[in-house]
Amino acid sequence: MAWFRNLKQLSSTKASLRFKNPHPFFPSTAPFAFLLSHFSSQASSDAVVAQPPGLGPTAEGEKPRVVVLGSGWAGCRLMKGLDTSIYDVVCVSPRNHMVFTPLLASTCVGTLEFRSVAEPIGRIQPAISREPGSYFFLANCTGVNTDEHVVQCETVTDGLNTLEPWRFKLSYDKLIIALGSQPLTFGIHGVKEHAIFLREVYHAQEIRRKLLLNLMLSDVPGISEEEKRRLLHCVVVGGGPTGVEFSGELSDFIIKDVTQRYAHVKDYIQVTLIEANEILSSFDDRLRHYATKQLTKSGVQLVRGIVKDVKPQSIILNDGSEVPYGLLVWSTGVGPSPFVNSLDVPKSPGGRIGIDEWLRVPSVEDVFAIGDCSGFLESTGKQVLPALAQVAERQGKYLAALMNKIGKEGGARASSGKDLELGAPFVYKHLGSMATIGRYKALVDLRQSKEAKGLSMAGFISWFVWRSAYLTRVISWRNRLYVAVNWATTFIFGRDISRI
């Protein structure tokens, strides 16, 4: 009966472990009552459970704690480079993955699957999943108390019929604000209600569902020609790289897939790109003209105008014309989020968090800001850097090295790094810009600025360079394999048009 003795031994072991090592958020006196009070629809009336206090200040024998707000390019590159033998890492973000944004437009039409552009935080920094003092919290930061070195957080909920959000506090030794930005709507009425942005995976999922739904609805008997044209009119507002790349992917989808699989409506579908000035304004003039010519050849209608109002089924331009649409994608640039606006710190031009040459927020202690939410103060004499992925990534890499240097020199604890020599300040050199325009063509502009000299080219070779460069920049080998397989599958079998 050896198996029976082993079973008894296992049962006794589980019983002895059951009330040991409670989670730091759960009161040790009543761990199960705490859980039941939140997960039961009718908690016991006599159960009194305290709100979880959060993570208090680090003790002498513990590693210093770095709290990172955000999981974008800047925050993830920082976490990847941090030395976890020096620091405990705590990440607070409303999403548990990083989005490889340059390939996000490809997921909207099925060229790539959504998981190919999403990298879990636990893979980027494994310490978050396995180290006892490192955590990831699916939450939003609601406030920062820099005097007490504390951030207030609130967990993310999903819809109305879910748990009430939990509020908790996190003490930090070093705070990294990498909260990114939000799409600009310029206060135009109806944008938030009726347009879809293209910055997150769920945005791409919504665009894909809406596009395929309109394709199928337009094929239903009894739909008038006017309504069919409206349903199949895809309007993109914003002629930057994101808007142009999405328009190119959409035109490819129409030419290669819609004409074969939706033959009854192929003559009705149309893509319109609306831009107030010139498309791809940061690129060389020759490349812009090439992109305009190729997009027009692919069937994309280019309209110069300013959107004044957005209605449920049409938009109004500044010249008074009305443009009906079935799908409206908004890509007109980014600006500071409401949380960044609410912070009581000096701001850079444009409303971003003001930073010095070492990416510190100079008005407070032990706080750094990187990525789209930050910008150099005017006192530094430096220009505010553009909201680009390569800027955020390189700031994250620089700050990780700086944090490791501070930790090794004994300045990792709160209020302990004032007199340290930080070394060389952050310097950004632009590596160039790339954008795909569909039909196996792309633009590559490797100049450091519009006025500088350098290599710029367009066409099939540029498209090959674009794909090769982004394939090497995808964060993990797992996702590189996903992307390569998706590209090969799409080339051989066409895009997946299932509406899931």
| Model confidence pLDDT, tens digit, residues 161-182 | 677 889 999 999 999 999 999 9
Give, in order, the Cα–Cα distances in Å from 430 to each of 39, 207, 433, 439, 495: 50, 31, 8, 27, 34
Topology alike, domains 54-181+336-409 and 196-335+431-491: yes
Note the pLDDT of residue 53: 65
- pLDDT tens-digit map of 227-265: 999 999 999 999 999 999 999 999 999 999 988 888 888
Note the pLDDT of residue 1: 41
Note the pLDDT of residue 126: 95
Give CA angle at 380 (66, 355), nearest 5°: 25
Note the pLDDT of residue 159: 65
Alpha-carbon dihedral sign for residues 54, 56, 62, 64 = positive
Give, in order, the Cα–Cα distances in Å from 391 to each of 302, 333, 425: 30, 16, 15
Note the pLDDT of residue 454: 78
Global confidence as pTM: 0.86
Note the pLDDT of residue 29: 34
Considering just the CA atoms, what is the radius of gyration of the chain in Å? 26
Please give the structure tokens belonging to residue 338.
């409401």
Beta bridge partners of 271: 234, 300
* Distance from C-alpha of 465 to C-alpha of 16, rounded to nearest angstrom: 60
* Distance from C-alpha of 84 to C-alpha of 34, rounded to nearest angstrom: 31
54-181+336-409 folds as FAD/NAD(P)-binding domain (3.50.50)
Task: Spell out the domain ranges in the chain.
Answer: 54-181+336-409, 196-335+431-491
| CATH label, 196-335+431-491, candidates 3.20.20.70, 1.10.760.10, 3.50.50.100, 3.40.80.10 | 3.50.50.100
Q: Is 326 exposed, middle or buried (0-12, 13-18, 19+ CB in 10 A)?
A: buried
Q: Which segments of the chain have a pLDDT < 50?
A: 1-52
Note the pLDDT of residue 239: 94
Note the pLDDT of residue 160: 63
